[in-house]
Amino acid sequence: MDDTIVINAGLSEVDKDLVRYLFKLKASTLEHAEEPVGTFSVARRIIEAAQRVIDFMDEFSRKDSFFFIFIGTEKEENLKLICNTVLEKSEKTKYFAIKIHDSWLDFSVNQLTLSGKMFTKIK
Amino acid sequence: MISYAETMSNIISGLSKYDRIYISRLLDIIEHKVGDKTPVIFISNQHVHVMARLSLMLSGKIFYVIPTTMTNSEIISFLTEIYQPFVITDNKDNIKSNSNFAKIYELEIYPIDINNPPDITIIIEESFTMFLYDTSGKIIHITEDVFAILYENAYELLSNNKLLNKPFLCAEVNDFFLQYLIIYISRIKTTSSSFILTEESLFLNKSNKKSDNTLYISYQSYRNIWKEVLSLTLQNKLFFKWFFNKWLGRIIIYIIIRKFEKYFKLFNKIVVLGLITDPILAEISEKLRHSKVYNTYGETSSLMLFGISNKPGQIELRPGLQTISVSLKDNRKAYSIISEKYIESSSTKISQLVMTIRGERFLKSITTNSLFVVKDGYAKFLGYAFNNGVCPAYIESIFNSFPFIKDSAVVWWRNNYILLLDVDEPILDANRINYLFFTKIMKGQVTKVNQNLLPEEIQIKSFGQIPSTIVRYNRLGQLDKEFLYKVEYF
């Protein structure tokens, strides 16, 4: 399946570390690629993208939020399941689906409702 | 010490008349076709592969052995680094790439009339150089002295343990050439019937008959069978549910072990080629009722076979095999130093082994990233060393026991352990395990492992699935863990 999903419910330093680690892995695969033309700069941009994801999560983490990180496409049924697993349900809690684009150079964010439906596009 | 020429004479005299004629024909081809080009072997047929490799050794050439399990792009990249490659293959279609990079020669051996054999004299040249590729694609070179010592050492080890009576092999000759050669020659002396088995044939030939055979099996195949039995059993929904229960789980494991040993009932001795690095599988191997499990230690793809141990997951330390033990804490890079001294730090027993073989004219050391604890003449495998810390193998082993996890790696990242999982998604889908259930199981297991097995300073802080867009496998189809471990800070 192309749409591999990494789930991070709740935010902690290590979860951010995991995101950094995965981006670094992706960048490393490019650094080790057979045709190294231009991959160094792409690898650096991938690492920068990780920092932007972290910054985004940092900004919202103070506001009682949950983040779900998707690589590839989000699936509505999975979103529903994930939202059901969140225990601390309150009206104040916000849920976000972060979708990492296939290139790993950028990401988009959607806010979710408790039922797992896409609510608003943040980024 | 036995010389290279004596070793080769013994090997040649141990071969059948048919094989000797075959070799003399190959030598003829090498002499007339190869010229000043660099011979490269790319042969999938086990027997032809061995004969071609022996012939090139005898001819005194510098040659390369490219494993047939390599991908097409890997082959091309390796061929471009070789000076005027002359690829000898048993099937041109195997090399799918165009012959722009190399001259490709397909072997055609005409039938041999065994009743009317020609006079053959095989001359052994004094030296050869053989280049091999290990699982991660790193190049290793073997010369005549190293080959002679390793061959004699391996032969002695296998004969002393009486493991050559009725041997069967389930392994790729590309990676286990030395073992193949020894078993092949001993096989000629006893009987000439087929002795190559595949994983599939082991599945088909489950038998209740007890027999006095020895099975040589690669660690990868042995582990595959274990994973297969595990997932087949746990496809039963009730068993799957009980597997996670503290008490019923033990019964399920017992059932799985009994199913596992059924595959090996034909063999009363199993020699696993390669160290059993999965501690749970090592423990299970000790519990098999009908078979005694041995394991070998050595860089198998580079012909090494340093030791054979009757304790799965452990290496028996032998005199003559020099072992240097250095503390990782004191000096992380010390393992690359060749030394005769045995150093053990008082603060820690965690050690890294360097194996050194010493000939009359050379000294060769094999460094390894594996960590061991040395005790009572045995070295027990602990895990892999990587730049930032030590990865305890038993933790990975627990997660690898899940049928829906292909492999896992505990990585050291910013002073924390992070568990990375390579998930077998078709199995998750077949059992209708959704992400909700999956994360629940994993969270529960991580908590359990943290509470019961790990000290406070070593706790798994987070876990995640390795995205398929990142995951890398080596040429044996295993997760490239060294790559995962090597990722550094940014």
User: ipTM of this model?
Assistant: 0.83
Residue with tokens 């979710």: A112
Q: Cβ(B137)–Cβ(B475) under 8 Å?
A: yes
Helix (H) or strand (E) holding B435: helix B435-452
What pLDDT does residue B344 have? 40
Average pLDDT, chain B: 79
Query: With 50 as the cut, is the pLDDT of residue B177 above it?
Result: yes
End-to-end CA distance of chain A: 26
Could you give the CA distance from residue B148 to residue B1 in angstroms, rounded to a whole number?
10
- Least confident window among B199-203, B297-301, B436-440: B297-301
Q: Facing residues of B389 across strands? A: B386
Structural domains of chain B in order of their starting residue, each with its CATH number = 4-133 (3.40.50.980), 143-312 (3.40.50), 317-386 (no CATH), 389-486 (3.30.300.30)
**Distance of residue A11 Cα from the nearest chain B Cα, in angstroms:** 11
Q: CB neighbours (10 Å) of residue B354?
A: 20
Query: How many residue contacts between A and B have a Cβ separation below 8 Å?
Result: 84
Q: Is the pLDDT of residue B456 over 50?
A: yes
Cα separation, B324 vs B344, in Å, equals: 9
Asked if pLDDT for residue B99 goes beyond 80, the answer is no
pLDDT at B338: 25
| Residue of A12, A26, A78 lying closest to B435 (CB–CB) | A78
DSSP secondary structure string, A42-87?
Answer: HHHHHHHHHHHHHHHHHHHHTT-EEEEEEES---HHHHHHHHHH--
Tell me the pTM: 0.82
Cβ-defined contact of B461 to A14 (cutoff 8 Å):
yes
Classify each residue of B214-231 as buried b or exposed e, where b means 16 or more C-beta atoms within 10 Å of its C-beta.
Answer: bbbbbbbbbbebbbbbbb
Does residue B11 carry a pLDDT above 90?
yes
User: Would you tell me the crossing angle of helices B46-59 and B17-29 to the nearest 10 degrees?
Assistant: 60
The predicted structure's pLDDT at residue B234: 78
- pLDDT grade for B330, boundaries at 50, 70 and 90: very low
pLDDT in tens, B350-365: 445 555 555 556 656 5
Closest CA to A34 of B97, B77, B75: B77
Phi, psi of B368 (to 5 degrees): -140, 150
Cα→Cα distances B111→A16, B25, B88, B121, B431, Å: 66, 11, 19, 19, 53
Q: Which of B36, B83, B82, B42 is nearest to B61 (CA)?
A: B36
Mean pLDDT, range B126-135, rounded to an integer: 89
Contact B462 A17 (CB under 8 A): yes
B319: confidence class by pLDDT, cuts 50, 70, 90: low
pLDDT at B203 over 90: no
Q: Report the residue of chain B nearest A31, measured CA to CA.
A: B487
From B73, B414, B484, residue closest to A17, measured CB to CB: B414
**A68-89: average pLDDT:** 71
